[in-house]
Structure 1
Amino acid sequence: MIDVRDIFMLLTRKSVKQTKRLSIFLALILFSAAFSVEAQTRISLPHTGFMPEDIAVIVNEDDPLSRQIGNYYQQARHIPEINMIRLRFSSERSVMTRKEFQQLKKNIDRLTPDHVQAYAVAWTSPYRVGCMSLTSALAFGFDEKYCATKCAPTAPSPYFNAPSQYPATDYKLRPTMMLAGTSFEQVKALIDRGIASDHSFPKGQAYLLSTSDKARNNRATSYAQTAKDLAGVFSLQILETNFISDRQDVLFYFTGLTEVPMLETLGFLPGALADHLTSAGGRLTDSLQMSSLRWLEAGATASYGTVTEPCSFPQKFPSPAVAMFHYALGASAIEAYWKSVAWPGQGVFIGEPLAKPFAPLLRKINPGRYELTVFSPREGRLRIEKSLSAAGPFKLHSRPQSIRRGKNLIHFRFNEKTDGYLKLQWN
Structure 2
Amino acid sequence: MKWFHFTVFAFLSIPLSASALGPHELAILVNQNSPRSVALANHYAALRDIPGSNLIHLDLPDSLLNASARIQPADFRTYIYDPAQALIQERGLAGHILAWAYSLDFPVRVEWQQPFSVQGLTFTRGNMPTPDQVKNGTYTSLLFRGPDREGGTQSPALSLEQFAMAARTNMPLPSMMLGFAGSRGQTFEQALSTLTNSRRGDALSPPGWIYFIERKGDPRSDCRAWQFPGAQEELKSLGVAARITEDYPKQNSSVIGLMTGQAYLPPAALERAFLPGAYAEHLTSFGADFINPDQTKATAWLNHGAAGSAGTVIEPFANWAKFPHARLFAHYASGCTLLESLYQAIRCPLQILLIGDPLAAPWKRPPLLTLLSLNETDEGTP
* TM-score normalised over the length of structure 2: 0.77
Provide the residue aligned with 2:101 in structure 1: 120
Q: What code does the residue aligned with 2:32 have?
A: E
Alignment partner of 2:294 out of 270, 278, 288: 288
Higher strand share: 1
CA distance in 2, matches of 1:192, 1:332: 16
1:61 to 14, 32, 39: 32
1:359 paired with 2:334, answer no
What's the CA shift for 1:239? 0.6
Cα gap change, 1:59 to 1:286, in 2 (>3 Å)? farther
Do the aligned partners of 1:281 and 1:287 also contact (CA within 8 Å) in 2?
no
Per the alignment, do residues 148 and 280 of structure 1 end up closer, same or farther by CA in structure 2, a change over 3 Å counting? farther
Q: Please, which runs of 5 or more residues in structure 1 have no aligned partner?
A: 1-44, 363-383, 385-427
What are the superposed Cα offsets for residues 33-66 of structure 1, whole Å, 9 maximum, x if unpaired?
Answer: xxxxxxxxxxxx9533111101000000111110
Q: 1:313 aligns to what?
A: 319
* 3-state SS, counterpart of residue 200 of structure 2: helix
Alpha-carbon distance change, 151 to 53 in structure 1, aligned in 2, over 3 angstroms: closer
| Contact persistence 1:147–1:346 (CA under 8 A) | no
Offset, 1:196: 0.6
Q: Which residue of 2 aligns with 1:108?
A: 84
> 2-side partners of 1:222 and 1:338: how far apart?
16
User: What's 1:163 paired with?
Assistant: 158
Aligned-residue offset at 1:272: 0.5
Which shifted more, 56-65 or 285-294?
A: 285-294
Q: Distance in 1 between matches of 2:273 and 2:119?
A: 28
Tell me whether 1:256 sits opposite 2:237 in the alignment.
no
Secondary structure, counterpart of 1:341 in structure 2? coil
* Structure 2 residue matching 1:231: 3-state secondary structure: helix
CA 150–65 in structure 1, closer or farther in 2 if over 3 Å, else same: closer
Deviation at 1:149, TM superposition (A): 8.1
Displacement of 1:359 in angstroms is 1.2
Q: How does 1:361-380 map to 2 (within 5 A)?
A: none
- The match for 1:235 is 241
Say which of 50, 61, 69 aligns to 2:21: 50
Distance 1:332 1:68 in 2: 23
Give deviations 1:337-383, integer Å, cap 9, x for gaps: 11110111110111101111111259xxxxxxxxxxxxxxxxxxxxx
Higher RCO (CA 8 Å, separation ≥ 6 residues): 2
Alpha-carbon distance change, 227 to 253 in structure 1, aligned in 2, over 3 angstroms: same
Q: Which runs of structure 2 are paired with 1:18-417 in the superposition (5 Å)?
A: 47-89=18-60, 90=62, 91-92=65-66, 93-103=68-78, 104-112=80-88, 113-114=93-94, 115-123=96-104, 125-130=106-111, 131-145=115-129, 148=132, 151-161=135-145, 163-166=158-161, 167-168=163-164, 170=167, 171-181=170-180, 182-217=186-221, 218-232=223-237, 233-241=239-247, 243-262=248-267, 263-284=269-290, 286-321=292-327, 323-360=328-365
Runs of 5+ consecutive residues of structure 2 not aligned to the other structure: 1-15, 146-156, 181-185, 369-382
Distance of 2:140 and 2:270 partners within structure 1: 35
Superposition deviation, residue 230 in structure 1:
2.2
After superposition, what is the alpha-carbon deviation per residue over 1:66-118, rounded to whole angstroms, capped at 9, x for unaligned?
01101111111111111110011132231111121110211111122211011
In 1, the alpha carbon distance for the partners of 2:290 and 2:47 equals 25
CA shift at 1:168, angstroms? 4.8
Residue 56 and residue 168 in structure 1: after superposition, are their counterparts in 2 closer, same or farther (change >3 A)? Answer: farther
Q: Give 3-state SS (helix, strand or coil) of 1:250's partner.
A: strand
Letter in 2 for 1:355: A
Residue pair 2:20, 2:159 contacting (<8 A) in 1 also: no
Offset at 1:282?
A: 1.8
Q: Are residues 95 and 355 of structure 1, via their aligned partners in 2, closer, same or farther at CA, if it must alter by over 3 Å?
A: same
2:286–2:292 contact (8 Å) kept in structure 1: no
8 A contact 1:253–1:274 mirrored in 2: yes
Contact 1:211 1:256 in 2 (8 A): yes
Measured on the aligned residues, the alpha-carbon RMSD in Å equals 2.3
CA contact (8 A) 1:213 1:256 kept: no
Say whether the 8 Å CA contact 1:146–1:343 is kept in structure 2.
no
